[in-house]
Structure 1
Amino acid sequence: MPPRRTIYLPTKDYELPDIDILTLIYDSPESWTQENTVVHAEAALPSNAITKAQARVYTKRLAWVFRHVFSIGTNGPGKDVVVCISSGQILLSNVFYGVIAAGGVFSAASSAFTAGELARQIKQGRSSCIVCSEDCRDVAIKAAKECGVPASRVLVLESMGGKRVLRDVEKKGQNWLDGGEVEWVKRGDLLDWEKITDKKTLKDRVVCLLYSSGTTGVPKGVNISHANLVSEGLIPQYQIREYFARQRRLNPAYRFEYRTLAHLPAAHIAGCQGYFVNPSIAGGPVFWMPKFDFPLFLEYNRRYKITTFFTVPPIYLLIAKSPLVTDQFASLVHAITGAAPMGPELQAMAEKKLGCQISQTWGLSETTGSVTAMPWDQKDETGSVSPLLPNVRMRIVDDEENDVEEGQEGEFIVQGPMITTGYWANETATKEAFTKDGAWFKTGDVGLCKDGKFYVVDRKKELIKYKGLQVAPAELEALLLSHKLILDAAVIGVPDPSGSGNELPRAYVVADQSMISESEIKAFVSQNLAQHKQLRGGVVYLDAIPKSPSGKILRRELRELAKRERVAGRAKI
């Protein structure tokens, strides 16, 4: 007999259109934005804005530039990778769509990257074209030099403060956004995108790379396709539209106006999907902040009467505990949390301050974001990550991929139209990410189902999450071991004592403390890695790193050691 399978199902499925992401955003009635709808605006200068009609033209202009000036897509679609490292900007989504329309692949890089980290991503994608914001210019130039990318192919995008600039970093070439719509049309300098309806092409053609850290080795490029973006854009929106219909049956005068605030990094799935795609489908504007600033975040929520947003537990902790929060969220209808678990205690505190419901969602870069979501008229106070979204299937399995009994812990494995087909140019990692039969994606998250609700209890993968950003222990360990005075090293995440829900990277090292101090080790990391990868959890000196006979680091022993240290610290108090 074949082994018994327990497949968890959503309450319903939706029929999804066979449509490419550009046609969905710009030319489909499924998108609720009108031609004159402002889709992107600068929070600090709201007159700096573009409508849907203008966004379409900018996308076609940028597609022409990428194709005819930089040869993106010349040899066929889905091959040429354009790396983009930028803080928040109102034309960032048009670069995203312009690269795709040209036939290229948009590779999202964190604006917090060092030159070495950016160079690694450029090399992985074999990219010969880079777009950056002015504040990331120096990092982009250094990385380009390391990768042999000429300065003429490193482009600075400036679209805040009313600017409309795209030119090379040395400012020797022309501004490719000069001229405006009338001039571009007259010269024929616009490129339309390929309209795609073939299911297999929509599923398989890679249009975006989002980088996900593995537990061994360097971050991997997650292949995101048209079908991934379209399904993740439409399925939650269909669910919300059904809620609107229920509300209108109760009150025919019910109206909801979508307005959100871009405050999270655009290089991650919450930014790419949450700011480039979802708002245009939902029918309203995104107000852009270059980077997160809490007092400004509060002010912009009040000023623009923000009605919904997704953010991460550390920001909810700020909201819950800050005396600055008064009436700034009076217009907020629904808030969503994700990227890391949030306990019911923090949820209750933050909801009291916000004056509206917070629901948890769960997903990964490899699932193009959410695979669970709470309907707006349902509530959970137990800390669950919400029900499955329509069109998603889930199993909970043990290490041998056998289904566990309901209520028992196991790894969440999933199917659905938003699930990646694998990793860019990495067949080994792709094979390892799916079950033996290739049919289910292994999320690496361990959880259980209880009373029909899903709970994430641990991560099978060893990733550390800080402010929703991934930190791979292996990357930190490799850097530490490159130092001549560090003989061995292991890194784990320890809980932030502030209760923010963050994990703080902590290094356990074998080294002579009289030769290299904790501050020197931290400084070494600071010089080489992004801010979210710093050793905020400290440095602990050991005589030896605990390892298995095969040489694997026994992280569980280190976690137990950290736990005993926390208990001892509380006992002293």
Structure 2
Amino acid sequence: MTTVVEKTPRGVIYRAAKSFPVPDLDILSLLFDSEHSAATPESVIHSAADDPSLQLNVSRARTLTQATSAALRRHFNIGAGGPGRDIVSVVSLGHYLLPVLCYGIIGAGGVLSAASAASTPRELARQLLSSESKILCCVEAVKDVAVKAVEEAGWGRGGGGRVLVMGEGREWTLKVVQADGSLGRNLIDENDLLPWQTITDRKTLADSFVIMIYSSGTTGLPKGVKFSHRNLVAQASIAGDSLRQSWGGPKPAWEYRTLAHLPMAHIAGIQGYLINPFYVGGTTYWMPRFDWHKFLQYNKQHKITIFFTPPPIYLMIAKSPDVTDQFASLEMAVSGAAPLGKELQRAASRKLGTGKNVYISQTWGLSETCGSSTLMPPGVDDDDTGSVSALMPNMEARIVDDNGRDVEPGHEGEVLLRGPVVCNGYYKNEAADRASFTNADDGGDRWFHTGDVAHVRGGLVYIVDRKKELIKYKGLQVAPAELEALLLTHPAVLDAAVIGVPAAEWDETSEVPRAYIVADRNKIDADAIKDFVKRNAANHKQLRGGVVFLDAIPKSPSGKILKKDLKALASRGQSKL
């Protein structure tokens, strides 16, 4: 299942050696009703990490989902005018009943739009206006922010009856925020159910609009990414069936248990907690938010067997003395959302599992690919070359130069993707669509520009860096991700980020690398860091832009370094240390 390459009249095409059939079903029918799903009516699919007695099996989830759909339709007309028209925004911490709301929105014919619980009122208001949301659902902990946001968005005092607070305990509730801030009656009636519409027409599935998330905004303003039933089903079935091939059956020999510790506003939360574990009959244990010590506690307490997490958490696993036997039950570990250097990959892998070969594999994807676009082939469980695995089955790629011409195999260039997991574009943003998708005239080839520079070697994909973030120094390219990975191998460096800054105030055509470092200043200084890079990197990769110490590297909730924040810091004339 490695990546193969083929020269065609339309370019040099990379594809997975294997493909899987994608079921012609809507996402709820796939999970709850189809033979493809390994979950039974009694399978526990969601549970509270802090109190596992709070749990949800498939049968109960079905009832609450349909009751939620009915309440949204009856009280707010969600889906009454047809599917894919009414957007329902959700801003929430993680909890085991949150999936019921998400499934219920889709079941009513609405569009689930997830927002970050870390949003300020202004940021949330901007997203509500951009998405044209009809209602906003939240948890009690973010109610004040939600109300301020909707008032700023012009919804009226207290949200004008369009803000709902969901329950998080044993009883599933949805209550409207009143003008005085109090909560109204529970709108959920378990005797009033609205079954979802089963869809089997492939074109209808592909053209549907069921979920919208906002791109991370690491380089600019976030954009609303539109997902169809086809996208969600393809991601679940292709990833799930790839795992089943490696397991040799519909379920692994071990119990599938994962820990929800990433934000629901990120595609990793949507696909990784709401959908994929359900598809393979697994259980998701929900944390409200990421907390390092509770993360360790819950991994041990619930004997977590599989998780996906970004490099910052693997960095903590590798360097923290707190890690002992908490990951003894782990069977699979996957990294994504940002580059994971091979040295960190090896160091963190050594602390996972007990007496088992639990090696961290890397996946690569974007918001626009509904999650993964690469997966490690079955049987390859020890790749430590820094690859992001092979192209996922059913996916195709091209690698092109700055002029859009295909480069020779083995050479670097921007990756273009197409396949069933690639989104349908951006919400009411034709300029972004034109910038991100090619629409050729020769038969309608449509490729998504990922913005990532990569090459393929030995059937595996190697990401160099974001195209926009490559540093150009005297005609040579420097990949910040490479320097970041190198810096993290130093035992005194706790975290690191690298950006390009102008080589001189009068010359903005050439850049030099600057490192931002989190470290104990009593153990290391800027000169020691520069010397370390000098010993381990080529001349054009030296830290000529200096070293700046920070208390923390700015990152998105999903773990991506916010380079735009660092560039703003640099532009304000931060002194070089």
Query: Which segment is superposed worse, 352-361 or 151-160?
Result: 151-160
When residues 95 and 227 of structure 1 are mapped into structure 2, their CA distance, relative to the original with a 3 A threshold, is same
One-letter identity of the residue aligned with 1:164: W
What are the equivalent positions in structure 2 for 1:18-37 lying under 5 Å apart?
A: 18-37=24-43
* TM-score of the superposed pair, with normalisation by structure 1: 0.79
Quote the Cα distance in structure 1 between the aligned partners of 2:247 and 2:219. Answer: 45
SS of residue matched to 1:290: coil
Quote the Cα distance in structure 2 between the aligned partners of 1:416 and 1:81. Answer: 26
Quote the Cα distance in structure 2 between the aligned partners of 1:194 and 1:332. Answer: 38
Which residue number in structure 2 is paired with residue 302 of structure 1?
Answer: 300
**Cα offset, 1:436, TM superposition:** 4.4
Which residue number in structure 2 is paired with residue 238 of structure 1?
Answer: 241
Which residue number in structure 1 is paired with residue 66 of structure 2?
Answer: 60
**Cα offset, 1:41, TM superposition:** 0.6
Which residue number in structure 1 is paired with residue 345 of structure 2?
Answer: 347
Write out per-residue CA displacement over residues 82-109 of structure 1, whole angstroms, 9 at most, x where no aligned residue: 0100010111111111111111110010
Quote the Cα distance in structure 1 between the aligned partners of 2:212 and 2:62. Answer: 22
Quote the Cα distance in structure 2 between the aligned partners of 1:234 and 1:287. Answer: 21
Uncovered stretches (5+) of structure 2, i.e. residues with no partner? 1-6, 471-479, 485-496, 500-511, 520-547
Which residue number in structure 1 is paired with residue 517 of structure 2?
Answer: 497
Task: Note if 1:132 corresponds to 2:111.
Answer: no
**Cα offset, 1:536, TM superposition:** 6.8
Quote the Cα distance in structure 1 between the aligned partners of 2:289 and 2:222. Answer: 23
Determine if contact 1:4/1:403 at 8 Å carries over to the other structure.
Answer: no
Which residue number in structure 2 is paired with residue 229 of structure 1?
Answer: 232
Determine if contact 1:494/1:537 at 8 Å carries over to the other structure.
Answer: no
SS of residue matched to 2:12: coil
Which residue number in structure 2 is paired with residue 282 of structure 1?
Answer: 280
Task: Note if 1:453 corresponds to 2:460.
Answer: yes
Which residue number in structure 1 is paired with residue 212 of structure 2?
Answer: 209
* TM-score of the superposed pair, with normalisation by structure 2: 0.78
Quote the Cα distance in structure 2 between the aligned partners of 1:121 and 1:37. Answer: 36
Determine if contact 2:391/2:460 at 8 Å carries over to the other structure.
Answer: no
SS of residue matched to 1:47: coil
When residues 536 and 445 of structure 1 are mapped into structure 2, their CA distance, relative to the original with a 3 A threshold, is closer
**Cα offset, 1:127, TM superposition:** 1.1
When residues 215 and 287 of structure 1 are mapped into structure 2, their CA distance, relative to the original with a 3 A threshold, is closer
Which residue number in structure 1 is paired with residue 14 of structure 2?
Answer: 8
Of 157, 162, 176 in structure 2, the residue corresponding to residue 153 of structure 1 is: 162
Which residue number in structure 2 is paired with residue 539 of structure 1?
Answer: 569
Quote the Cα distance in structure 2 between the aligned partners of 1:319 and 1:494. Answer: 26
Quote the Cα distance in structure 1 between the aligned partners of 2:61 and 2:424. Answer: 29
Quote the Cα distance in structure 1 between the aligned partners of 2:242 and 2:340. Answer: 23
One-letter identity of the residue aligned with 2:162: R
SS of residue matched to 1:83: strand
Which residue number in structure 2 is paired with residue 508 of structure 1?
Answer: none
What are the equivalent positions in structure 2 for 1:477-488 lying under 5 Å apart?
A: none
Determine if contact 2:218/2:561 at 8 Å carries over to the other structure.
Answer: no
Write out per-residue CA displacement over residues 120-146 of structure 1, whole angstroms, 9 at most, x where no aligned residue: 111111112000111111111011112
What are the equivalent positions in structure 2 for 1:80-91 lying under 5 Å apart?
A: 80-91=86-97
Determine if contact 2:213/2:267 at 8 Å carries over to the other structure.
Answer: yes
SS of residue matched to 1:9: strand
When residues 303 and 217 of structure 1 are mapped into structure 2, their CA distance, relative to the original with a 3 A threshold, is closer
Quote the Cα distance in structure 1 between the aligned partners of 2:232 and 2:83. Answer: 17
SS of residue matched to 2:113: strand
Quote the Cα distance in structure 1 between the aligned partners of 2:428 and 2:15. Answer: 32
**Cα offset, 1:207, TM superposition:** 0.3
Which residue number in structure 2 is paired with residue 515 of structure 1?
Answer: none
Task: Note if 1:434 corresponds to 2:445.
Answer: no
More helix by share: 1
Uncovered stretches (5+) of structure 1, i.e. residues with no partner? 249-253, 474-491, 500-517, 544-560
Determine if contact 1:215/1:461 at 8 Å carries over to the other structure.
Answer: no
**Cα offset, 1:211, TM superposition:** 0.5
SS of residue matched to 2:423: coil
Write out per-residue CA displacement over residues 336-387 of structure 1, whole angstroms, 9 at most, x where no aligned residue: 0000000110011101001311100000010001010113520311101000
**Cα offset, 1:452, TM superposition:** 2.1
Count of equivalent residues: 485
When residues 54 and 435 of structure 1 are mapped into structure 2, their CA distance, relative to the original with a 3 A threshold, is same
Quote the Cα distance in structure 1 between the aligned partners of 2:213 and 2:469. Answer: 19
When residues 424 and 461 of structure 1 are mapped into structure 2, their CA distance, relative to the original with a 3 A threshold, is farther
Task: Note if 1:398 corresponds to 2:401.
Answer: yes
One-letter identity of the residue aligned with 2:72: F
Determine if contact 1:401/1:435 at 8 Å carries over to the other structure.
Answer: no
**Cα offset, 1:68, TM superposition:** 1.0
Task: Note if 1:361 corresponds to 2:363.
Answer: yes
One-letter identity of the residue aligned with 1:292: F
SS of residue matched to 2:390: coil
Determine if contact 2:337/2:365 at 8 Å carries over to the other structure.
Answer: yes
RMSD of equivalent CA atoms: 3.1
**Cα offset, 1:164, TM superposition:** 2.8
When residues 217 and 359 of structure 1 are mapped into structure 2, their CA distance, relative to the original with a 3 A threshold, is closer
Quote the Cα distance in structure 1 between the aligned partners of 2:513 and 2:104. Answer: 38
Quote the Cα distance in structure 1 between the aligned partners of 2:17 and 2:113. Answer: 35
Quote the Cα distance in structure 2 between the aligned partners of 1:376 and 1:151. Answer: 53
Of 314, 317, 330 in structure 2, the residue corresponding to residue 316 of structure 1 is: 314
When residues 214 and 330 of structure 1 are mapped into structure 2, their CA distance, relative to the original with a 3 A threshold, is closer
**Cα offset, 1:172, TM superposition:** 4.5
Quote the Cα distance in structure 2 between the aligned partners of 1:538 and 1:206. Answer: 36
One-letter identity of the residue aligned with 2:379: D
Which residue number in structure 1 is paired with residue 506 of structure 2?
Answer: none
Which residue number in structure 1 is paired with residue 473 of structure 2?
Answer: none
Of 372, 375, 380 in structure 1, the residue corresponding to residue 374 of structure 2 is: 372
Quote the Cα distance in structure 2 between the aligned partners of 1:99 and 1:72. Answer: 8
Quote the Cα distance in structure 2 between the aligned partners of 1:45 and 1:135. Answer: 18
SS of residue matched to 1:440: strand
Quote the Cα distance in structure 1 between the aligned partners of 2:162 and 2:572. Answer: 47
Of 412, 425, 429 in structure 2, the residue corresponding to residue 422 of structure 1 is: 425
Query: Which segment is superposed worse, 387-396 or 443-452?
Result: 443-452
**Cα offset, 1:173, TM superposition:** 2.4
What are the equivalent positions in structure 2 for 1:42-191 lying under 5 Å apart?
A: 42-149=48-155, 150-160=159-169, 162-170=170-178, 171-177=182-188, 184-185=190-191, 189-191=192-194
Query: Which segment is superposed worse, 42-51 or 454-463?
Result: 454-463
Which residue number in structure 1 is paired with residue 526 of structure 2?
Answer: none
Write out per-residue CA displacement over residues 47-106 of structure 1, whole angstroms, 9 at most, x where no aligned residue: 011111001111101101111111111111101100100010111111111111111110
When residues 43 and 193 of structure 1 are mapped into structure 2, their CA distance, relative to the original with a 3 A threshold, is same
Write out per-residue CA displacement over residues 374-422 of structure 1, whole angstroms, 9 at most, x where no aligned residue: 1352031110100011100011011222100122111100111000110
Quote the Cα distance in structure 2 between the aligned partners of 1:164 and 1:429. Answer: 39
When residues 302 and 216 of structure 1 are mapped into structure 2, their CA distance, relative to the original with a 3 A threshold, is closer
Identity score, percent: 47
SS of residue matched to 2:126: helix
Quote the Cα distance in structure 1 between the aligned partners of 2:397 and 2:219. Answer: 26
**Cα offset, 1:151, TM superposition:** 3.7
Quote the Cα distance in structure 1 between the aligned partners of 2:338 and 2:220. Answer: 22
What are the equivalent positions in structure 2 for 1:193-204 lying under 5 Å apart?
A: 193-204=196-207
When residues 159 and 541 of structure 1 are mapped into structure 2, their CA distance, relative to the original with a 3 A threshold, is closer
Quote the Cα distance in structure 1 between the aligned partners of 2:185 and 2:36. Answer: 37
Quote the Cα distance in structure 2 between the aligned partners of 1:49 and 1:284. Answer: 13
Write out per-residue CA displacement over residues 463-505 of structure 1, whole angstroms, 9 at most, x where no aligned residue: 9999xxxx9x9xxxxxxxxxxxxxxxxxx99655249xxxxxx
Task: Note if 1:273 corresponds to 2:276.
Answer: no
